[in-house]
Every structure is written in structure tokens, then in C-alpha cells.
Amino acid sequence: MRHTGAVDPRVRQATPSDIPVVAQIWYDGWRDAHLGEVSEELVDVRTRSSFDERAAARVTDTDVVEVDGAVVGLAMVGGDEVEQVFVAPASRGSGAASLLLDAAERRVRRHGHGSAWLAVVPGNARARAFYARRGWRDEGDLARALTVGDRRIDVDVRRYTKVVSPLIDVAELASRLGEVTVLDVRYRMGGPPGPEQHAAGHVPGAAYVDMDADLAAAPGARGRHPLPDTEVFLAAMRRCGVSSDRPVVVHDDWSGHAAARCWWLLRHHGHPDVRVLDGGWAAWTAAGGEVATGPVSPEPGSFAGRPGAMPVVEADGVLEVGVLVDARAAERFRGETEPIDPVAGHVPGAVNLPTSTNLRADGRFRPADQLAALYAAVGATPEADVAAYCGSGVTACHDVLAMEAVGIRAALYPGSWSEWVADPSRPVATGP
């Protein structure tokens, strides 16, 4: 499949053939990290061959990153701990480390954990700065035993933590108001005007984001909601107070559909810490959350991302996707009705998993194990080549978000059905 974004460097599951290079990168990185903390003599006791044995034992827990076909880094996860992230010195600054950390966070989610932790040697200033930029929080000192040969050495490390779920509940948001940037993306096709609803009541400090003006370009041959121009989007986010070093929480009153579009765009442009309020505005008010009224004029942010952090598939690659998920209602997928676009049906080979399936009766997302089972039933698993589309590229982000919550990295087809049927030469299927 031809994806754009996140192509090279490329992350994949480690295989037995990777063990020698994984062991070498791990050994070199481990020595580099610990030489300043324990004596070189003691570091030398941990032999190179011991890393071959350890890499072989942990190959199923390891992701590697390739640049030009060569493995240049690794990430290893055990439970909720990101145990190792190492990149060969020549490939530092290539984006490989960020891709590995993303992959590690997805593994933690696949293990059923909503938060992760890792340990960093205090003297490793480069690593500490990297994790801070990626939204990890320094929780303080942690004493850890280091086994070197037959010796046990106590080494002080810093414990870093991060909530890796793309969702946040009402209670956590209420406790963190003032620490996060809140965005209100209230929007419904044919529904009440979002700005008026925002002015009448919103989460304190939440800036209003306009779906059509800020999160989409003008309708045309690329569909009804093409991706916005990068500079337009970045300017809108800065206007709303978004900065790369401050977490963002997005909500709407449309079961997370519009919020998911904003979440995806921020992540696509490299923001490291974006979450969607589970249950949205309805959950906030039902829980008695504080409500503010009137206009919001936040301090302008400094967000200066660039697109490419999330995978995208374009029309010429859609038919090559291994598992293409159609997020529209079942009757639209089958071609029984089409209320918006000129042609009914679906992309040949697609499977249907409507966004409503992601949600419980109260409008919150299903538990992770249920979501994983739903997507696995249509072939969407962490190992599969997966992409999602909808009518115009908005609600498909909801399926992408649901899959991200269970560790499945899915590409988005931004033009979706409205772009697909704009070219009469493209094939159309109907029925189940």
C-alpha cells in the first residue's frame, strides 16, 4: 500500500534475523547511557554476547526502525514499562526515536494499559529532554538495581510517566484544568451553530475551533472536507493557544466525531500529547463539570508542527490496502441509501465498522478489550495493513482513534467516499 507520512524511517516488529544488529545497538546504547553512572570496569562486565541472548529472548517484545532498509534502532516493552529505546548515533535526529516511542506506546495500549513508565539515567540530558518533548512527565528519583555479572549495583534513575491512551475522562480533565489546552470542536452536519453553543456554555478556558474553517479546506475534487492547508491549520491552533510542550484535550457534542478529526490533525502535525474527552460535552455536563460562558481569548500558542506523523493513504493506493475500514452507517455502505454524495455503495474490498459501534449507550468509548475484538473481527489487528475512510474524511478519524486506543496504527484516507466517487472511472461495490 502506498502510504504518505511515516514511511522512512519505518517501524516494524523485530524478527529473529534482526537479533545481531538489535543486540549491538542495545549494547552500545546501554554502555553510552551508563558509563557516567557506574565505573567503566563494571559496565565492561556485561558482555556483548549477553545482549545477543537477551535480544533473542525478547524479540517478540521488540520493534525496530529502519532507514533505507537498515535497522538503526529498537524499542522494547514489557507490560506498562518502556524498557529500552535506543537509536544508533548516526541516525539520531532522523525522527527514528520518535517513531520508536510511538510504537512502544502502542504496545503498552495493546497490553491493556492506559499509562506507561520508563526509567532514564539522570546524567542522560539528551534522553531526558527528548522524553519531555514527547509529553512524558518526570516523576522524580527511582532507585533501581543494576545487575552486572555477579554484582548488584544500586543506580539512581529518573522515573518518567505518560498517559498513552488517546482518551481522557471527565474526572481527570477536571483535575487538570489550567495544565492543559482545551479545544471545543462542537459541530454537527446540519446541526446548530457551534460558536453560539460555545458562547452559551463551555469547559472553562476552552477555545472554539471551527470545523469548516480550521480543520478542512474548501470542498472540491478532493472531497467535501479535504485536509486543511498546513499554515491555515497551524495558525488556527496557535490562535487557540496550542503549543507543542503543553497537553491538549479536544471535545465536541457529536460523540467524538469532530473531536477525533482535530485530534488526528494535531497528531499528524507532530503534537506529542493530544487526547479526546471521552463522552464529550454531554459527559462533562452530566458529571456536573464547571461551565463558563462568553468568548474565550487564550494566550496565543507556539505550535509549529509539520504533517507526516500519522499515515495517510491517497486514492491511488486505496485498493492496495490490506484491511480498508468503512466508518459509515451500514445502509450507506451497502448502497441502500446515500443522503449526501451522488453515488451509493463502497470501495470494493472494504469492510464496514460504523463509528457508532465504537461507543457504549452513554456515548463513551467501549472498553479496550471490546474495541480490540470488534476490529479483530474484520481483520484490523496491530499486525495488519489498515486504513479507514468515511464520507468526507471526518468521521473516519473516529475509527482511527478507536483503533489507536487498542494499539492499531491505521492510515486515514482523507478524501474518502466523496473524493472516490468524484472520478467515475473508480470502481464501486454494493451489498454487504
Domains of the chain, first to last: 3-163 (3.40.630.30), 167-286 (3.40.250.10), 312-420 (3.40.250.10)
Q: Taking the model in full, what pTM does it have?
A: 0.89
Question: For 79, which DSSP code?
Answer: T
Model pLDDT, residue 3? 47
User: Helix, strand, or coil here: 68?
Assistant: coil
pLDDT per residue of the chain (432 residues) written in tens, 0 to 9: 444 444 468 899 999 999 999 999 999 998 888 766 655 655 555 677 889 999 999 999 999 999 989 999 999 999 999 999 999 999 988 889 999 999 999 999 999 999 999 999 888 899 999 999 999 999 998 877 666 667 777 777 899 999 999 999 999 999 999 999 999 999 877 667 789 999 999 999 999 999 999 999 999 999 999 999 999 999 999 999 999 999 999 999 999 999 999 999 999 999 999 999 999 999 999 999 999 999 999 999 999 999 999 999 999 999 999 999 999 999 999 999 999 999 999 999 999 999 999 999 999 999 999 999 999 999 999 999 999 999 999 999 999 999 999 999 999 999 999 999 999 999 999 999
Q: What angle do CA 233, 399, 417 make, to 5 degrees?
A: 75
Q: Which residues does 57 contact at the CB level (< 8 Å), separation at least 6?
A: none
The conformation of residue 399, written as its DSSP 8-state character, comes to: H
Which stretches within 221-367 are classed as H helix?
230-239, 257-268, 280-286, 330-334
- Residue 264 class from Cβ within 10 Å (0-12 exposed, 13-18 middle, 19+ buried)? buried
Cell of 295: 468568548
What does the pLDDT read at residue 123?
Answer: 84
- CA–CA gap between residue 99 and residue 305 (Å, rounded): 15
**Catalytic center residues:** 390
- Edge to edge, the sheet with strand 115-120 lists 10-13, 62-67, 70-78, 81-87, 115-120, 151-163, 137-148
- Give the C-alpha separation, 5 to 309, whole Å: 6
